[in-house]
Amino acid sequence: MPKFNCSQKLTDLFGRPFPKTNPSKEEYRALESHPKVKNRMGQDVLDQSYLPDETLGNFLISCLAAYEPETKTDNFYIQIIAASLLSAQGEVELKDMYYNFLLEVMDEVTQRVEKVKRSTPDGKQIEVDEDKGMYMPWAVTKAKILMGETLPAEEEK
């Protein structure tokens, strides 16, 4: 059964921790007491750098929350995995079927563009690009590495 530490901090491409993706209401309200910063559009916004660092556990919970289940089994797996992550004090051990499902969920929430068929008002079918997913591919890859997964390039060496 795969085991990983869900309290590990996720880092960006430069090895720096990044702020929590989905902060609680209390964490978000606490930002209001800090000075605001200017965004790229020149608007004053809350400084996200004061949020706690993103952890593997929070990242995985966010992935599960963003996933659109297709079956009752998917719902059951999501509940089991989420309960395990939320009750963990660091180490989490999941049965293989739950772990593999979690990896599928992580792949599904990776940002990408997919071709989908849509109907036009006159009834014709056209293919359009549709944005899918929530997290950048590098973030999902880093999370998988923290979970003990090996990258395909590493397997070849």
Q: Which pLDDT does position 154 carry in this prediction?
A: 55
CB-facing half-sphere around the CA of 117: CA atoms within 13 A: 3
Q: Which pLDDT does position 147 carry in this prediction?
A: 92
Comparing C-alpha atoms, which of 110, 81, 86 is closest to residue 96? 81
Most confident of 4-8, 118-122, 124-128: 4-8
For the whole model, what pTM was predicted?
A: 0.76
Q: Which pLDDT does position 156 carry in this prediction?
A: 55
Q: What is the mean pLDDT of residues 80-96?
A: 90
State the Cα torsion 91-95-81-7 to the nearest 10°: 20
Q: Which pLDDT does position 100 carry in this prediction?
A: 95
Please, which residues bridge with residue 92 across strands?
Answer: 4
Contact (Cβ atoms closer than 8 angstroms) between residue 62 and residue 54: no
Q: Which pLDDT does position 56 carry in this prediction?
A: 92
Q: Is residue 140 classed as helix, strand or coil in its secondary structure?
A: helix
